[in-house]
Structure 1
Amino acid sequence: MKKIILLAIAILAFGFANAQQTRFGVKGGLNITSFSGDNDSEALVGFQLGGFAEIKIIERLAIQPELLFSTQGAKFNRIGNNNDIDLKMNYINIPVLAKFYVTKKFTVEAGPQLGFLVSAKSDGTDVKDAYKSVDLGFNFGAGFNITDNFSVGARYTVGLSNVGDYDTDDVDQYLDSPKNSVFAIYAAYKF
């Protein structure tokens, strides 16, 4: 984990030192979240809100670090009951994306994400202690610049780490463990 954080800092430092142009902005959007792995989770709707810096490295390539508050989680069917259980988790996510301008209007992006669990509630009960405080994921997505300042986009975050606070002993247990799965649609404004 320390290596990932140091790598992100190194990328940011390199980007700021060599940046041709840096623009800051705000973004917000809709999250559709669930857990991947062998579980019976269903989608839960949430939101994300935060800021970003777009650091141009060369004409068609930028590094885009972000700081986002993201509501995530999943819905589960309660066995023998018609009521669903909503697991609502709030994260502070820090994605660092490589953003490539395919054209002046169309972009594609990909990069790692580090998430910090702020809270976790199941039907109003605090269950934060049952989940890991740090989450690792990988993002990929696309965006469209409507104007020089306003853009829209879609992104999928693949969870790479088990969100449950238990260790997995083998590959099958890791693959079956719950991992965050987030599809986001967002709008962004650059200053």
Structure 2
Amino acid sequence: MKTTFFAAIVFFSVQILQAQVSFKPGLRGGLNISKLTQAESSFKADFYIGGYGALKLGKLYTLQPEITYTNQGGKDIEIQNYNYENNQATVQNESISISYVSVGIINKFNFNDQVNFHLGPLFDIQTGRNIYSNSEVDIAFTAGLGYNVTNNLAVEGRIKKGLVDVLDSYYTSSNSPFMGSYNTNFLFQLGLSYTFDIKN
């Protein structure tokens, strides 16, 4: 374990020494295809948009803090609605929307000038929803690939997985086999990013 940690420190130190450190801001946005885990539902299409700062610390490594507005949720999820006037519960399929401001620290590993791998943690703060949820925050991880079309424009694809139960099981049908008790965010992201050149 100590040997692996030491090797990682040496690797990043060499990368920093071998290349000029640079910082460039950018914008990113695109398509979310999301659902809630343990729910038998359809994927829901929505969008994400945000900004980032790419801190290039070496030829092979870039540290990229990000802040993103993202709409997530799921489609055709079986929800229980209770009518207090006649003391009856009805079950219907609904589309659930949950929006977040997501703050992430993305590690980008550059295989060459075109292809890079993304990996990092995210902390999401809820900004809107159309149903009561268990938590107003989410902790997630993302992984994906990027392809640099030009020096500034890139195509990105990522998978994002939340760790927090975000849907209150009270609203699901108690007799339904289609909903679990631990429903987390899961989504694919496909979009573009544009990095701005900064002239000294």
Same fold (TM over 0.5): yes
1:114 corresponds to which of 111, 123, 127: 123
CA distance in 1, matches of 2:135, 2:77: 23
Tell me whether 1:21 sits opposite 2:30 in the alignment: no
CA distance in 2, matches of 1:31, 1:50: 13
Runs of 4+ displaced beyond 2 Å:
76-79, 81-84
CA RMSD of aligned residues (A): 2.5
Deviations 1:128-185 (A, max 9, x none): 4x3311100000000000000000110000111211358xxxxxxxx95001001000
5+ residue gaps, structure 2, are 1-15, 80-89, 170-179
TM-score by length of 1: 0.76
Aligned match of 1:97: 106
Deviations 1:20-41 (A, max 9, x none): 00110001100000012x2222
Please give the secondary structure, in 2, of the residue aligned with 1:41: coil
Identity level (%): 26
Amino acid at match of 1:22: F
CA distance in 2, matches of 1:32, 1:179: 14
Aligned match of 1:75: 75
CA distance in 2, matches of 1:50, 1:34: 21
5+ residue gaps, structure 1, are 1-14, 122-126, 167-174
CA distance in 1, matches of 2:93, 2:112: 45
Rate the CA distance shift 1:77–1:113 in 2: closer, same or farther, 3 A: closer
Please give the secondary structure, in 1, of the residue aligned with 2:151: coil
CA distance in 2, matches of 1:78, 1:160: 22
Equivalenced residue count is 160
Amino acid at match of 1:55: L
Amino acid at match of 2:52: F
Please give the secondary structure, in 2, of the residue aligned with 1:39: coil
- Name the larger-Rg structure: 2
TM-score by length of 2: 0.73
Amino acid at match of 1:59: K
Deviations 1:111-135 (A, max 9, x none): 00010110111xxxxx34x331110
Deviations 1:42-67 (A, max 9, x none): 21001000100111112210111111
